[in-house]
Amino acid sequence: MSWIKYVVIDILALLIISLFCFTNSTGLEITIWIYTGILLLGRILFLFVDLIKTKSTKKKVPIWFYHVIYFLSSLILFICQNYYLGSAWILIWALSSIEHLKKIKQDSNA
């Protein structure tokens, strides 16, 4: 469980999304939009740009953790009827899964 310290921001984002669902705060919505945009842009760039791919020195976070975070984030946003953000989180989830599959394929070829 030494990987927990590397996912604090992801857990915080899930908590902010949950809090937004209950409060419908404009400030939290803006924060979620900004974080979602940065995360989505990062996933797209990491998937398609070979120049930014570097070896990570931090502990490996289990892939199931990201599946749970992305699923819960999407579910909460859809329950709150925020379909654009929910769809963006599903896209982030899909890009993350594709990225993971590409990494597995590269590791098996190496």
The per-residue pLDDT for 87 is 97
Residue 50 tokens, joined: 């070979």
The per-residue pLDDT for 51 is 62
Residue with tokens 């209950």: 22
Domain definitions of the chain by residue range: 2-109
pLDDT in tens, the chain (110 residues): 788 888 999 999 999 999 999 999 999 999 999 999 999 999 999 888 866 665 555 568 899 999 999 999 999 999 999 999 999 999 999 999 998 888 888 878 86
* Pair 17, 73: CB distance under 8 Å: yes
The model's pTM is 0.86
Largest interatomic CA distance in the chain = 49
Closest CA to 93 of 22, 39, 52: 39
The per-residue pLDDT for 32 is 97
